[in-house]
Copies of this chain bind each other. A is one copy, B any other.
């Protein structure tokens, strides 16, 4: 009975098509203009159909949020070309900043917006975030083990590094850096990260 299998395939396909359309609308029109009706229009289905394939709008945004983390993860994994953990740590920071500035909407979906987090069940874990954070922390831990960084708690180091870059990026994205000339913001962000990391280097 291959019919049920085909139906299952078609269901998955349409779900994927809706997500593809949702991502297009999200990237082209921005979060504030990403409505169910616009997504439905984009994929040429009625608004009601969306709710057959997704519980609510938050679930759609959570799926996009997962895709965004996959993209960041790909960018970060390219840093494995560096044999030394310390060099890789610098490269991870660089790729994080590059990703955030090149994909501001995706960055906000990952680390600022509340909506995608509401789709995560309270007892469940924030898988995407955990995986990315652990990848980062493991590299930092290796750099400490190898004596390339001072022997501090890798958790505290990672939280500090992450928060600093996140703070710089979001103050910029949400237009709170009006005291800094626009063309100097990106250099300052990269400079702050380098200087911060340098302070933790074993001398």
Contacts and interface: CB of A to CB of B under 8 A. Distances in A.
Interface of A: 111-114, 117, 125-126, 129-130, 133, 156, 159-160, 162-168, 170-171, 174-180, 188, 191-192, 195-196, 199
Given A163-B167, A167-B165, A179-B129, A156 B114 contact: no
A196 B160 contact: yes
A170 B170 contact: yes
Contacts of A162: 167, 171
26 contacts: A111-B171, A111-B176, A112-B112, A117-B174, A126-B176, A129-B176, A130-B178, A130-B179, A133-B179, A156-B192, A156-B195, A159-B168, A159-B177, A159-B180, A159-B188, A159-B192, A162-B167, A162-B171, A163-B168, A164-B164, A164-B167, A166-B167, A166-B170, A166-B171, A167-B167, A199-B199
